[in-house]
Structure 1
Amino acid sequence: MIRVITLDDEQLALDNLNFILKKFPELDIILSTTDANTALDSLQTMKPDLIFADISMPEINGMEIAEKILELKLATKVIFITAYEQYALDAFRVNAVDYILKPVTTSKVRHSLDKITSLSQGRPDPSLKAHGEFRIIGTQNNRFYIIRPEDGQFIKMELRDLILVTQSGEYVLRHSISYWEENLVPYGWFRCHKGYLVNMNQIEAIYPMFNSTYNVKIKNQKEAIPVSRTYIKEFRALLNI
Structure 2
Amino acid sequence: MPLPPPPYESATVIRTLLVDDEPPALDELAYLLSAIENVEIVGTASSGGKAVAMIREMEPDLVFLDIQMPGKSGFEVLADIVQMACPPFVVFSTAYDQYAIRAFEENAVDYLLKPVSLDRLRKTVERICRLLGGSRGEQAKNREDAFHLRTLLAVAGIGPEIARFSVECDGRNVLLNPRDVLFFQSTDKRVHAHTEGGDFACPSDLSLEKIEERLQSFFFFRANRSQLVNLAFVRSYAPWFNGKYVATLSDSKGTDITISKARVRAFRAAIEL
CA shift digits 1:103-146 (9 cap, x unpaired): 11211111111222343457xx9xxxxxxxxxxxxxxx99xxxx
Pairing 1:56–2:103 present = no
Unaligned segments of structure 2, at least 5 residues: 1-12, 143-154, 157-183, 185-211, 222-230, 248-252, 264-273
Aligned residues: 161
Which residue in the other structure is 1:198 paired with?
A: 245
Which structure shows the higher strand fraction?
A: 1
Q: Secondary structure at the match of 1:71?
A: coil
Using the TM superposition, give the Cα deviation of residue 66 of structure 1 relative to its aligned residue in structure 2, in angstroms.
Answer: 1.9
Please tell me whether the aligned partners of residues 63 and 91 of structure 1 are also in contact (alpha carbons under 8 angstroms).
no
Pairing 1:3–2:50 present = no
CA shift digits 1:18-51 (9 cap, x unpaired): 1111111111111112122111101111100000
Pairing 1:102–2:102 present = no
Q: Which amino acid aligns with 1:31?
A: G
Using the TM superposition, give the Cα deviation of residue 227 of structure 1 relative to its aligned residue in structure 2, in angstroms.
Answer: 5.9
Query: Taking structure 1 as reference, are residues 189 and 58 closer, same or farther at Cα in structure 2, changes over 3 Å only?
Result: farther
Which residue in the other structure is 1:111 paired with?
A: 123
Pairing 1:89–2:102 present = yes
Using the TM superposition, give the Cα deviation of residue 64 of structure 1 relative to its aligned residue in structure 2, in angstroms.
Answer: 1.4
Please give the TM-score of this superposition, normalised by the length of structure 1. Answer: 0.54
Q: Which amino acid aligns with 1:91?
A: F
Which residue in the other structure is 1:23 paired with?
A: 35
Query: Taking structure 1 as reference, are residues 10 and 190 closer, same or farther at Cα in structure 2, changes over 3 Å only?
Result: farther
Higher relative contact order (CA 8 A, sep 6+): 2
Which residue in the other structure is 1:32 paired with?
A: 44
- TM-align CA RMSD: 4.0
Q: Secondary structure at the match of 2:32?
A: helix
Please give the TM-score of this superposition, normalised by the length of structure 2. Answer: 0.48
Unaligned segments of structure 1, at least 5 residues: 126-140, 143-155, 172-183, 192-196, 203-219, 232-241
Query: Taking structure 1 as reference, are residues 36 and 188 closer, same or farther at Cα in structure 2, changes over 3 Å only?
Result: same
Please tell me whether the aligned partners of residues 40 and 65 of structure 1 are also in contact (alpha carbons under 8 angstroms).
yes
Please tell me whether the aligned partners of residues 49 and 77 of structure 2 are also in contact (alpha carbons under 8 angstroms).
no
CA shift digits 1:188-221 (9 cap, x unpaired): 7777xxxxx625xx9xxxxxxxxxxxxxxxxx85
Using the TM superposition, give the Cα deviation of residue 170 of structure 1 relative to its aligned residue in structure 2, in angstroms.
Answer: 5.2
Q: Which amino acid aligns with 1:89?
A: R
